[in-house]
Structure 1
Amino acid sequence: MFGEIYMRINKKTLVLILTGLISSSAFAALVEKSDLVTDQIQIGKMDGDTEPSQYSVMFNFHNNGDDINKWQIGFYMPRSFYSLAAQNINPALEMQVCNADGGCANLHYVKAAFNMPDQSQGYFTVLEPINSFPLKEKGRYYIRLAHSNQWPAGNISALPQNLFLISDNYSKKGVPRIYTINTELTQYSLLGYDHNQVEAQIKDKLAANWQNSQTFTTDSLPGIVPQPVSIKALGNDGFTPPKQLTIHNQLNDNNSVASLWAQTIKSDWKQKKPVLVDNNSAANTGIIITEISDPKSIANSPEGYRLTINTDNITIETLTQTGAYYALQTLRQIWAQNKQTFPSLTITDYPRFKYRGVLLDTARHYFSVAEIKTLLDVMASQKLNTLHIHFADDEAFRLGLESYPNLTATAANRGLGQALGPNMLPQNNLDTTNLTQKAYPLANTIYGGSYSAEDIKTLITYANANQITIIPEIDLPGHARALIKALPEVMVDPNDNSQFVSVQGYSDDVLPVCTYGTDISVGSQFTPTMNTIMQNIATQFNNQNTVYAVNNEVSVGGDEVSSHAWTNDTSCRNEWGNLSSLEKSHLFFQKLAASNSELIFSGWQQFIQNDNETLGKNIVAANQTGHVWVWNPSSEGVKQAASLANNNYPTVLAYADKTYFDLAYTPSMYEPGFTWATGYSDTYSSLSMAETASKTQSKTKNPQNIIGIEGTLWSENLPSFDHLMYMALPKMPGLAEAGWSPNWVTINNKQLDWQSLANRLGCGENGFLAYLNQLFGVNYRGYPHGISRELPDGNSLCNSNASN
């Protein structure tokens, strides 16, 4: 009924946008506040929800305006309302709109053809009555979405939000109007949620964390994050910076690190004169960078150092410029705690793991180059050394490629009227991190952003100067909807009639893998296109100068392909014919790697493994693999990681229950973040990765192949950089401590050094969190009260506890 009107919006407005006749914000200009007024929205277990995964939603509203005859209603909720009985996706789902007199009409899930601008897809839902059902003036109504089996909502991030109405009330330009339907947090009800009970559970958990940690007593030594291997006072007068300070680089003639820090020191130490840099091998004053005579004392690590502060000089002994960089990071923290004179001490330090990383998802939400630079600053201050950037997923492809200059024109933008429809739309007034009530995108907002080749050069230069490697990732062969939408003539196989729904609710997000390397269907175009995309990406990220950079590395993701993908695809013949969906994915990667033998491929564990810990039959070899990240919760992930290490795959631990930073800190309804892997993704949890990593290493015959740990910032629910930092801090220092500090520091008698770390993070006016805020202008969860929100009631460390 209304689909014809909707397509009129899409076709007409899209044409006008592309021809430049009106701006891409045309929809924004037409949006108005709806006369539909929300009374209440209930989410949770209702009559007939008999399975643990089932829940229902009830929207109660009334119409304060004129009659609305033809209409659609839409919203964002991180749950799919698409039904596919063959895959047990919402087989019992019922959707109705009803009036106060009991009259009802069934609602239809509005889905566009793939080659048309999107309507419902993923977590974005558009519904319309199957039969005529006018919304009468002064009428009261409810919309009932009953018996979804996609699991009940647990907090504000999972609520249905950003509601809107499209009506037949045309604008003068002939475009149906879009009306926002305002909602306030007070109008939502999570059925079965007991606030007092949840708050009591949180208090008990915080108390248990503290009680089960190593007892900490304060001392006069500086509190460094992450904790060094060894720190000892020397007992002399310490070092007072002279008016003319010089950094003497006696290590080699590469002065890049010394020159970078000369600028930082001048600013931090309030030096009136420029800080000089030279290579004077005879100098014995100022800051001296020299080669360490006993490299075993720093475990022969290229990132290790020994820092000695005496009355006359500060000496940094190391093997590389990277070690000097980290010594100067430590020195910067010491200065922030003293300001006048450095205490006399010696620090011996080196990392536990060579890989200490953070994943940044730029596909779900775009972050500017300036924002990513700030993230790099925050990472570097904690001696994290890898930024794993997720550039492409179902929702966007943000990486500009030389061979496909128009790719991002389609795949980097989304909104009503675009090839990629709106998605990932947290509502600004439901986001408790949005203290300034910044405006967030609406369904009609044309939201986008991409990274040019020049942007990538800028980021690599900045990251490498701060000893951070950037690893690029585009997700294949699932999670690939944006790429497919941008290049449908190459990526859509007409032979594939499979029906499936991905974990995120997409039914059309897999590549035509069975055509790769063949002339079947689109194979003759798909094959060279994939090869060129891989080579373009590798070229952009080559020649990084960090100590652990891997040339020609591209991460292909490889996770969460639906088990029903390619099950009705006549292109899957011969060697592909009897393979499961995951086995087809494995074979595709094996063939892709064989055709691009100069490249190094990386991905998540399903890129190599079956859904258990066994390896696939046709997989990329370990010697052509850069990194394999394990994302499953530790209950399954430990066995998977151990198996990968046993088979010589370089393995990084990113267990969702430990270091998925986008998950909620607590089970509180008011705490943002997903909760699918844990209800407590907090700083204690990320620090506990130190113990879980040790457990993983104990399960493998090749513990050296467990090369590190990673915290992830998946951005479905991170619509702003402020929100991103809320989820990252203070979890990130826990990760940094687990990744850098030796396990005899972080774990003693099976107890974590949580009390010590909390003391070093501080209570707001001092400590590491205040340090980050002062240097980089970033806020954290609990700002400006430091770590107090993660401490038990009555704890003496901080005088005041903010509400949890």
Structure 2
Amino acid sequence: MMRLLSIFLLMFFNLFFSQNQLNLIPYPKNINVSSGEFIIPKTLLLDKNLPKEETEYFKKHLNADIKFQNVEKGAQLVYSELPKTNGKDQNDEFYSLEVSPKEIHIKSYTRQGYFRALQTLVQLFEGQESKKIPSLKITDEPKFAWRGMHLDVCRHFFSVEEVKQYIDYLAMYKLNTFHWHLTDDQGWRIEIKKYPKLTQIGSKRKESMIGAYVDNTFDGKPYGPYFYTQAQIKDVVKYAQDRYITVVPEIEMPGHALAALSAYPELACTKGPFESATKWGVFDDVFCPKEETFTFLENVLDEVMQLFPSQYIHIGGDECPKTRWKECAHCQELIKKHNLKDEHGLQSYFIQTIEKYVNSKGRKIIGWDEILEGGLAPNAAVMSWTGVNGGIEAAKSKHFAVMTPGSYCYFDHYQGDPQSEPNAFGGYTPLDKVYSYNPIPTELNAEQAKYILGVQANLWTEYILDFKHVQYMIFPRLMALSEVGWGTSDPKNYKNFENRVIQQFKILDKMKVNYARSIYNVSGKVIPSNNGVAYELSTSQNSNGIRYTTDGNDPTGNSQVYQNAISVSKPMTIKSAYFEDGQLKSAISSQQFSPSKTTGKNITLEQQPSENYSFGGAFTLVDGIIGSQKQLGKTWLGFQGKDVVAVIDLGQKTQFSEIYFNTLENKGSWIHLAKSAQVFVSDDNVNFKMVKEIGKDEIQNSKGKVKLNLGNQNSKYIKIKIENAGIIPAGNPGADSKAWLFVDEIGAN
């Protein structure tokens, strides 16, 4: 009988904790819960032989009100180092954590594993409001070797103390790589003793762009000089090492070099003069691949490698316009001398020259996926940001890759409704999207997948002026990234993760971290319906607390309780918010609808948008929402180097006389208005007749809000072709690269 009772109790405990999972992020690989519990004491007794530095970190970073006492015997926290066995694959980050009513016992192969266990223990101590931890055993280790966060300190600078805080956030959630973006067009942030003008001149700019890019406005305030001394960098590197985090420095080349060229103009293809960029974007003046440039970069890298012991040195390699190289006699002679195909081959020559030097020092290079241009350097690793294809190409050619596609891993994108969020670069990457990411592309087989080192998120700071805003942009998305990198994320069980995130907010509150509360806001999703479209509302809280209006008034007054998706068959503005006990608990979300005869209809695209700007897919073009000119947000589809060819099925023959669509121009970000547009009609989706064609001048005159008068039409199918501007011409940012075409809302009246 007692044996049956024990089995029943064990089943009860496991069932209870499987339904009410512990508030741990990243969630451990294996957890077994048993009967009994450890009551968190007011004074925790520590075995005197615990690894000292790691234990001190634990004591310092535990926000719970606990005192500590070292004892010879009867300790409540003890540690055992596991013996390593030859021939077995033993992860340095592996740990086991056993909790019984009288003891917490951590075991690991290394002190790094012990440190990871302590992060779990901090969350157990702080996440249990009952002050009790269930008896359990955790065995845990990460799936991916590279679990990284990036920070751009060039567009906006952050102090040493703020960088250290950033590193502590990574440690909390078991990330192990800090990618420090130290040089760019807008500022050079690392002291190089051999080249003092890099920081004397290149660490400042005369002013900074403010507001949305299309505003083209500046603050008129000098920025800088801001940079880190070598002593400060050594301090930060040591600080990260103490938390088992590798700092990977990035020195940009051959592009994004204006700050360096402002100090040493002789390294360019033209005479200059140059100045650190005041705008965001991409610029034509880049490093010229001549001997003095390579000497300069080798000397810079010598000092960088003395400061950073990381295996990889990041050399950038992204967004390098070829305009100056095309016009440069030296570059053209170099192409001929080395039998290079073109300027893309010259990019490969540049990267391979740098790689040989870095390899000669016992290090390896990693770069953004443009380093694939013209052929990948023999030992280089790729950081795949423009999508997943760079990582796929690298892995298939047996090169290591870190996956960081913008559509999932760019934390400078909006994470909530752009109308209620601080100004951001663009894009839409909410928490659930980050959590849904799988770093191993389905195109890779098991052997190729071994070349995926891991995953990283990037924080570019064009629109992030201070550290509070940094906190806002990374939290809570950093939590989703950590679980993806650890390998225990489960998108099918996202709600469970979301609940754990909300519990983690209590820890962030104690730390006074300014995290985003977008998770509480009401989010909306447009879905097809019989009358066109409907607007489906949801929240992380009880949906019965959602109230809304359809007349544009705030729901704080007369409003309706949300029950079913709201039908949208006429122009309206839906405002919604979450309430508890009659009190407003979220931001007010607002969505304006302008339906037309295409709204909610079936639409197909011949070519798909870029992964980074594909939210909602083709349906975004007929969802009845007009995109904001200032915010790419979640209402635009972006196509790089591709035309938009869309076919809309109206369901039956329908009369209409006008087609309209919206497009964007933002040349600093390589976004150009369409070159032309054509409209066709058909009754069978096979035989189409062109009924309207316009050129670039008409589109330019419309300022992107294109309306086409077609005369009286009566057709079942509409086909519209919107032609991409193609290759960006000389004299524009990104010259010689493929232009972006952004399109939203193809309507008919």
Q: Residues 335, 583 of structure 1: CA spacing in aligned structure 2 closer, same or farther, 3 A cutoff? A: same
Query: Any residues of structure 2 matched to 1:41-440 within 5 Å, and which?
Result: 219-241=19-41, 243=43, 245-249=45-49, 255-265=52-62, 268-271=64-67, 274-276=68-70, 285-292=75-82, 300-338=90-128, 340-415=131-206, 422-426=207-211
CA distance in 1, matches of 2:89, 2:126: 28
Counterpart of 1:710? 456
Counterpart of 1:802? 587
Counterpart of 1:582? 344
Does residue 538 of structure 2 align to residue 738 of structure 1? Answer: no
SS of the residue 2:326 aligns to: coil
Write out per-residue CA displacement over residues 267-307 of structure 1, whole angstroms, 9 at most, x where no aligned residue.
63421xx5438xx7xx56321121347989x9722112111
SS of the residue 1:413 aligns to: coil
SS of the residue 1:652 aligns to: strand
CA distance in 2, matches of 1:654, 1:509: 27
Q: Residues 219, 484 of structure 1: CA spacing in aligned structure 2 closer, same or farther, 3 A cutoff? A: same
Q: Is the 8 A contact 1:562 1:581 kept in 2?
A: no
Deviation at 1:699, TM superposition (A): 5.1
Does residue 409 of structure 2 align to residue 659 of structure 1? Answer: yes
Q: Is the 8 A contact 2:284 2:321 kept in 1?
A: no
Does residue 233 of structure 2 align to residue 456 of structure 1? Answer: yes
Q: Residues 580, 307 of structure 1: CA spacing in aligned structure 2 closer, same or farther, 3 A cutoff? A: same
CA distance in 2, matches of 1:348, 1:313: 17
Counterpart of 1:512? 288
CA distance in 2, matches of 1:728, 1:329: 19
CA distance in 1, matches of 2:282, 2:240: 34
Deviation at 1:495, TM superposition (A): 8.3
Q: Residues 502, 270 of structure 1: CA spacing in aligned structure 2 closer, same or farther, 3 A cutoff? A: closer
Does residue 437 of structure 2 align to residue 689 of structure 1? Answer: yes
Counterpart of 2:295? 528
Q: Is the 8 A contact 1:240 1:342 kept in 2?
A: yes
Deviation at 1:512, TM superposition (A): 0.8
Deviation at 1:226, TM superposition (A): 1.0
Q: Is the 8 A contact 1:502 1:560 kept in 2?
A: no
CA distance in 2, matches of 1:720, 1:351: 32
Counterpart of 2:601? none
Q: Residues 503, 451 of structure 1: CA spacing in aligned structure 2 closer, same or farther, 3 A cutoff? A: closer
CA distance in 1, matches of 2:369, 2:60: 45
Write out per-residue CA displacement over residues 215-239 of structure 1, whole angstroms, 9 at most, x where no aligned residue.
x997344210111112222212324
Q: Is the 8 A contact 2:253 2:316 kept in 1?
A: yes
Q: Residues 269, 320 of structure 1: CA spacing in aligned structure 2 closer, same or farther, 3 A cutoff? A: farther
Q: Is the 8 A contact 2:325 2:343 kept in 1?
A: yes
Q: Is the 8 A contact 1:357 1:384 kept in 2?
A: yes
Q: Is the 8 A contact 1:761 1:787 kept in 2?
A: no
Equivalent residue for 1:729, pick from 462, 469, 475: 475
Q: Residues 797, 380 of structure 1: CA spacing in aligned structure 2 closer, same or farther, 3 A cutoff? A: farther
Q: Residues 473, 294 of structure 1: CA spacing in aligned structure 2 closer, same or farther, 3 A cutoff? A: closer
Equivalent residue for 1:758, pick from 494, 498, 520: 498
Deviation at 1:338, TM superposition (A): 2.7
Q: Is the 8 A contact 2:425 2:463 kept in 1?
A: no
Does residue 489 of structure 2 align to residue 768 of structure 1? Answer: no
SS of the residue 2:323 aligns to: coil
CA distance in 2, matches of 1:299, 1:716: 43
CA distance in 2, matches of 1:332, 1:441: 45
Counterpart of 1:603? 366
Residues paired across the two proteins, number:
511
CA distance in 2, matches of 1:794, 1:220: 20
Measured on the aligned residues, the alpha-carbon RMSD in Å equals 3.3
Deviation at 1:589, TM superposition (A): 1.7
Does residue 523 of structure 2 align to residue 778 of structure 1? Answer: no
Q: Is the 8 A contact 2:255 2:285 kept in 1?
A: yes
Q: Is the 8 A contact 2:99 2:135 kept in 1?
A: yes
Equivalent residue for 1:538, pick from 289, 294, 305: 305
Write out per-residue CA displacement over residues 451-508 of structure 1, whole angstroms, 9 at most, x where no aligned residue.
011111221121111121110001100011101111113x1334899xxx99955544
Does residue 378 of structure 2 align to residue 621 of structure 1? Answer: yes
CA distance in 1, matches of 2:83, 2:383: 36
CA distance in 1, matches of 2:176, 2:542: 31
Q: Is the 8 A contact 1:496 1:569 kept in 2?
A: no
CA distance in 2, matches of 1:723, 1:407: 28
Q: Residues 506, 231 of structure 1: CA spacing in aligned structure 2 closer, same or farther, 3 A cutoff? A: closer
Q: Is the 8 A contact 2:412 2:425 kept in 1?
A: no
SS of the residue 1:290 aligns to: strand
Deviation at 1:371, TM superposition (A): 1.1
Write out per-residue CA displacement over residues 123-161 of structure 1, whole angstroms, 9 at most, x where no aligned residue.
xxxxxxxxxxxxxxxxxxxxxxxxxxxxxxxxxxxxxxx
SS of the residue 1:571 aligns to: helix
Gaps of 5+ in 2: 1-15, 525-536, 544-579, 590-749
Does residue 475 of structure 2 align to residue 475 of structure 1? Answer: no
- Structure 1 counterpart of 2:400, one-letter code: P
Does residue 329 of structure 2 align to residue 554 of structure 1? Answer: no
Q: Residues 789, 397 of structure 1: CA spacing in aligned structure 2 closer, same or farther, 3 A cutoff? A: farther
Alignment TM-score, normalising by the size of structure 1: 0.59
Deviation at 1:248, TM superposition (A): 4.7
- Structure 1 counterpart of 2:146, one-letter code: Y
CA distance in 2, matches of 1:754, 1:461: 36
CA distance in 1, matches of 2:418, 2:284: 35
Q: Residues 788, 467 of structure 1: CA spacing in aligned structure 2 closer, same or farther, 3 A cutoff? A: farther
Q: Residues 455, 269 of structure 1: CA spacing in aligned structure 2 closer, same or farther, 3 A cutoff? A: same
Counterpart of 1:443? 220
CA distance in 1, matches of 2:151, 2:522: 25
Alignment TM-score, normalising by the size of structure 2: 0.63
Counterpart of 1:570? 329
Deviation at 1:700, TM superposition (A): 6.6
SS of the residue 1:723 aligns to: helix
- Structure 2 counterpart of 1:243, one-letter code: T
Q: Is the 8 A contact 2:265 2:272 kept in 1?
A: no
Structure with greater strand share of residues:
2
Counterpart of 2:538? 793
- Structure 1 counterpart of 2:538, one-letter code: D
Q: Residues 342, 507 of structure 1: CA spacing in aligned structure 2 closer, same or farther, 3 A cutoff? A: closer
CA distance in 2, matches of 1:441, 1:258: 48
SS of the residue 2:372 aligns to: coil
Q: Is the 8 A contact 2:25 2:483 kept in 1?
A: yes
Counterpart of 1:23? none
Deviation at 1:563, TM superposition (A): 3.8
Q: Is the 8 A contact 1:361 1:714 kept in 2?
A: yes
CA distance in 1, matches of 2:540, 2:17: 14
Gaps of 5+ in 1: 1-215, 416-421, 431-439, 517-524, 543-548, 611-615
SS of the residue 1:245 aligns to: strand
- Structure 1 counterpart of 2:482, one-letter code: A
CA distance in 2, matches of 1:576, 1:794: 57
CA distance in 2, matches of 1:368, 1:697: 42
